[in-house]
Amino acid sequence: MISINKHAQLTGHNASVFALCKGPETGTFLSGAGDGWLVAWQVQNPEMGRLLAKTDTQVFSMTYLPEQQVIVAGDMNGGVHWIDLLKPERTRNIAHHGKGVFSILPVGDFVFTLGGDGILTRWSAPESRSLESLHLSNQSLRCIDYSKARNELAIGGSDNNIYLLDADTFEIRQTLVQAHNNSVFAVRYHPGAPGLLSGGRDAHLKVWDLDRLSSPLSNQPAHLFTINDICFLSDDKFATASRDRTIKIWDAQTFQLLKVMDTIRSGCHINSVNALLYLEATRRLVSCSDDRSIILWEVG
C-alpha cells in the first residue's frame, strides 16, 4: 500500500490557488492564484514563500522556462505574461487569447497556450512571441499534454472532445468526439504504456488505448464532482484532484483505487483541489485549492 502523509500546509495566498509548476532549483516550486501573485516556495523551508511578481488579475496557468529564467503565466482575461526574473524590465503582458488562458505547456524551444476562445497557440520560448495559432473549437480549451514518443499533443475542451494533434504541423490526427459527458479538464499521457488518461466535469476517469481509440479501456466514476487534474507519481501510480475536495491515488496498471486523501482523515483541502505537481527529487506531491492553501504531501 502506498504511504502518503501531509508534510506542510502553506497559506500565503489571498485567493484560490489555480496553478503550480516546478521552480528554478531542485525542491522548489511556483504557484499562481486568484490574487494575481506568483510565489516561489522551497520544500525544505515551506513557510517562507517569496513573491516573484504580481499581475492585475487572476492567474489560471503557468510554467517556468529554466533556460530563459522566465515565468510564463496565463490570466483570466486571456493575457500571456512573460516574466523575466533576471531582467524584470523585459517583462511583457501580451493580450493574446480572447478569454482565460487555462493551460500552458513547454515543449523544447516552444510554449503552447490554450485559451477560452478555443485557440491553441505555439510561442517561441527564446523570443517570447507567438508563432502560429489554430482555432480548434468554438468553446474553451482546458487542458494539454505532450507525448515525446508520438510527437503528439492531446487537448481537452469544453466541447467534451479530446483532440490529438501532430506537435509540429498542428494536423489533427484524431478527435475523440464526446470523450466525456461534459468539459474535459485533464489529459495525461501514460509514461509507461501507449495510453491516455482523461478526466472531466462528469467526474469520470477514462483510460484510452492510443492504438484503438474507438472506446475507452477503462471508464469509472472516480470522484463525486469534477476531476481537475491528473498527475503521475511513477509509471505505476498516479493521482487525481477533484472539486469534491479529495485527492485519490490510483494503480496505473490496473486503474484500481489505492488511497483517498480527504479533509477529515488526511487533513486535505476544505474546498476544490485545483492542481497537482509531483517533485520527484524530494518525493513530494503538491496540491493547491480554492481554500487559498497549498499542501505538501510526503510520498513514501
pLDDT at 88: 84
Pairing relation of β-strands 28-33 and 37-42?
antiparallel
pLDDT at 193: 84
pLDDT digits (tens, 9 = 90+) for 71-99: 999 999 999 999 999 888 888 999 999 99
Count how many residues are written for the chain.
300
- How far is residue 80's CA from residue 197's CA, in Å, rounded to a whole number? 27
Exposure of 28 in the CB half-sphere (CA atoms within 13 A): 14
Q: Which pTM does this prediction carry?
A: 0.96
pLDDT digits (tens, 9 = 90+) for 217-266: 899 999 999 999 999 999 999 999 999 999 999 999 999 999 999 999 99
- How far is residue 277's CA from residue 21's CA, in Å, rounded to a whole number? 7
- Provide the terminal-to-terminal Cα distance of the chain, rounded to the nearest Å: 10
pLDDT at 2: 84
pLDDT digits (tens, 9 = 90+) for 99-133: 999 999 999 999 999 999 999 999 999 999 999 99
Q: Is 1 helix (H, G, I), strand (E, B) or coil?
A: coil
Q: Is the pLDDT of residue 215 over 90?
A: no
Provide the percentage of residues in the chain whose pLDDT is more than 90.
Answer: 92
